[in-house]
């Protein structure tokens, strides 16, 4: 073989090596970029919720007989599988014990399988950057911290401590109203200045995942509190109205958006000591989320299907709360009313608080003992339902 051919082969070989090295280097860079993209998307609520749904679905649908387990292990796994299926069903009925069980399982999945740790948990919710926290984030942190001391009296303690249940004027309103605003939640959070541990942060993340997966969205923790009730979708502009206006009068829709007029899916109210208070800092986000809550919140004991033909349902939840759900076309939008009656704590001294209450209480006692007919009148939420408190 002559020298020119050898030189040509050498040049070709070097060229091939250079091309291979170039492609290897390029592929490595692409892999790194892909890993970064995946990493950024991995620690988002949507991605985590998909993972939790998939894992819980796998756990509840796995065929244990195909795994080749021993008799004792098979019995144990079947018991756990049944318990999980029961909890997943019961937590949508308002059972706090089933809710706790499901949340503990989600906690284990995130910490042991998904890889959530102290370095990446703030990518899910910005715990380390308070300026990036939403009012809902701050409220859920407040509830979580107050529950450590006050349990289901947490919301009551927050409202009382910061005097939130008072009439106040807000921009765009000519009359005072009962409302808790974003600014108030921001100020309370700043004053409290919590120092959260990793376990606290993970529990807050788990609660957010749970309420969007199996719970009642942004009212999930509020519904569990010892208050008189909670409602959603009962005020604000319905989506049907907004879609009609968009087709006929775009200017009006633009003005409504600029004025930040609440939509029906932004409507969340609580009944607290006879007062209807709007939680302006909370929202369901979309009509689809409000619809999901309405379709689940009344299902205890299978009361039947909520349909366009039968546009309302009256039922109770597992904890004894009374729930009423309505839907279009019977109503303008999807809405629900939950009323909680705490008979054990309800006393005349607690209910009757105006001046001269002693004489009123004595009179009521004699009227009831004498089996007299009593007419109780007043606006919604003023505690006129004497049967609920056991004064038949």
- How many Cα atoms occupy the beta-carbon half-sphere of 144 within 13 Å? 21
Residue 334 near residue 233, CB atoms below 8 Å? yes
Tell me: cis bond preceding 329? Omega within 30 of 0 counts.
yes
Task: For residues 317 and 315, give the distance between their C-alpha atoms in angstroms, rounded to a whole number.
Answer: 7
pLDDT at 38: 40
pLDDT tens track of the chain, all 392 residues?
566 666 667 666 766 666 655 544 443 333 333 332 344 567 899 999 999 999 999 888 888 877 777 888 888 888 888 999 999 999 989 899 999 999 999 999 999 989 899 989 999 999 999 899 999 999 999 999 999 999 999 999 999 999 999 999 887 777 899 999 999 999 999 999 999 999 999 999 999 999 999 999 999 999 999 999 999 999 888 776 666 665 666 566 566 665 567 788 999 999 988 889 999 999 998 999 999 999 999 999 989 989 988 999 999 998 889 999 999 888 889 999 999 875 555 667 766 767 778 888 888 888 888 888 888 787 765 666 544 444 44
pLDDT at 357: 80
pLDDT at 359: 86
Instruction: Give the three-state DSSP class for 13.
Output: helix
Task: For residues 376 and 42, give the distance between their C-alpha atoms in angstroms, rounded to a whole number.
Answer: 57
Q: Please give the order of strands across the beta sheet that includes 275-279.
A: 167-168, 177-180, 275-279, 268-272, 229-232, 335-339, 322-326, 312-316
Beta-sheet strands, E only, within the chain: 167-168, 177-180, 229-232, 268-272, 275-279, 312-316, 322-326, 335-339
Work out the number of other CB atoms within 10 angstroms of the CB of residue 38: 10
Indicate the CATH number for domain 127-340: 3.30.450.90
pLDDT at 84: 92
pLDDT at 12: 66
Name which of 304, 301, 320 is nearest 312 in CA terms: 304
Handedness of CA 287, 293, 298, 300 (dihedral sign): positive
Task: For residues 63 and 60, give the distance between their C-alpha atoms in angstroms, rounded to a whole number.
Answer: 9
CA end-to-end span of the chain, whole Å? 115
Work out the number of other CB atoms within 10 angstroms of the CB of residue 138: 21
pLDDT at 390: 43
């Amino acid at each position: 073989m002559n020298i020119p051919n050898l030189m040509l082969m050498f040049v070709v070989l070097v060229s091939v090596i250079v091309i291979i090295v170039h492609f290897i280097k390029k592929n490595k860079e692409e892999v790194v970029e892909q890993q970064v993209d995946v990493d950024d998307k991995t620690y988002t609520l949507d991605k985590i919720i998909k993972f939790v749904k998939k894992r819980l679905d796998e756990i509840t649908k796995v065929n244990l007989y195909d795994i080749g387990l021993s008799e004792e292990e098979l019995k144990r796994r079947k018991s756990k599988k049944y318990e999980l299926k029961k909890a997943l069903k019961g937590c949508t009925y308002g059972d706090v014990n089933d809710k706790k069980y499901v949340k503990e399982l989600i906690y284990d999945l995130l910490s042991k399988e998904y890889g959530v740790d102290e370095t990446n948990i703030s990518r899910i919710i910005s715990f380390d950057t308070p300026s990036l926290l939403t009012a809902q984030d701050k409220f859920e942190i407040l509830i979580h911290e107050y529950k450590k001391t006050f349990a289901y009296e947490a919301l009551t303690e927050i409202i009382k401590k910061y005097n939130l249940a008072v009439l106040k004027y807000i921009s765009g309103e000519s009359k005072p109203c009962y409302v808790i605003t974003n600014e108030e939640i921001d100020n309370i959070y700043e004053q409290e200045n919590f120092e959260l541990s990793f376990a606290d942060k993970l529990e807050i993340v788990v609660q957010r995942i749970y309420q969007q997966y199996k719970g009642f969205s942004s009212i999930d923790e509020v519904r569990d509190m010892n208050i008189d009730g909670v409602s959603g979708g009962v005020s604000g502009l319905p989506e049907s109205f907004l879609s009609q206006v968009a087709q006929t009068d775009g200017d009006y829709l633009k003005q409504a958006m600029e004025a930040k007029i609440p939509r029906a899916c932004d409507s969340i109210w609580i009944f607290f000591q006879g007062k209807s208070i709007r939680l302006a800092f909370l929202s369901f986000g979309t009509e689809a989320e409000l619809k999901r809550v309405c379709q689940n919140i009344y299902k205890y004991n299978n009361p039947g299907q909520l349909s366009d033909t039968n546009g309302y349902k009256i039922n109770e939840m597992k904890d004894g709360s009374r729930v009423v759900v309505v839907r279009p076309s019977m109503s303008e939008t999807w809405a629900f009313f939950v009323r909680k009656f705490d008979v054990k704590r309800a006393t005349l001294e607690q209910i009757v608080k105006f001046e001269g209450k002693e004489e009123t209480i004595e009179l009521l006692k004699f009227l009831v003992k004498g089996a007299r007919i009593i007419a109780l009148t007043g606006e919604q939420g003023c505690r006129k339902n004497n049967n609920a408190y056991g004064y038949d």
